[in-house]
């Protein structure tokens, strides 16, 4: 089985903005920006993020991110990450969330690896974390 982040970049299959994980076939990563508002807010609420209390601002911010990657199991949004970037040298990763019941299964890591692959060659990769953040 081929790894998504192997040197063989053809393992990263883009079709209609979706990438199926080779590690866990039931988890799909997507770069679509038309995420269902209620599922995004539910994800942020489940993780206790205060941004869920400002839904319009949150949704606008995510849709205007340089990159937005979501993780799905069937129709369920289980994770999300975004980036802010100048497009050439620097990329920030401010949001990375996984539904609590799916944490510890590598979903957040796959989201980050996908974004790191997209921004390979950039000089600075900056992960923004809360003081209460846990390792992933």
Range of the domain at 75: 9-127
Which tokens in the block code for residue 27? 């988890």
Q: Tell me the per-residue pLDDT of 108-128, one tens digit each, with 9 for 90 and over.
A: 999 999 999 999 999 999 988
Q: Is residue 15 part of a domain?
A: yes
Split into its structural domains, the chain has a count of 1
Q: What CATH number does the domain containing 117 carry? A: 3.40.630.30
Q: Is residue 64 part of a domain?
A: yes
Q: Is residue 134 part of a domain?
A: no
Residues near 92 by Cβ (< 8 Å), separated by ≥ 6? 83, 84, 85, 126, 127, 128
What mean pLDDT comes out for the span 11-18? 38
3-state DSSP assignment of residue 51: helix
pLDDT for res 135:
57
Q: Is residue 4 part of a domain?
A: no
Q: Is residue 31 part of a domain?
A: yes
The C-alpha atoms of residue 118 and residue 136 are separated, in whole angstroms, by 19
Q: Is residue 112 part of a domain?
A: yes
What mean pLDDT comes out for the span 23-33? 79
Q: Is residue 99 part of a domain?
A: yes
Q: Is residue 2 part of a domain?
A: no
């Amino acid at each position: 089985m081929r790894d998504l982040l192997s040197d063989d970049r053809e393992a990263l299959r883009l079709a209609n903005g979706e990438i199926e994980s080779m590690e866990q076939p039931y988890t799909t990563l997507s770069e679509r920006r038309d995420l269902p508002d209620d599922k995004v807010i539910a994800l942020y609420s489940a993780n206790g993020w205060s941004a869920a209390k400002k839904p319009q601002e949150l949704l606008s911010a995510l849709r205007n991110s340089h990159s937005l990657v979501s993780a799905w199991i069937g129709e369920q949004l289980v994770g999300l990450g975004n980036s802010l970037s100048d497009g050439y040298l620097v990329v920030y990763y401010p949001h990375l969330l996984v539904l609590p019941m799916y944490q510890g299964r590598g979903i957040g890591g796959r989201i980050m690896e996908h974004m790191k692959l997209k921004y390979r060659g950039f000089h600075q990769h900056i992960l923004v974390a809360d003081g209460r953040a846990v390792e992933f």
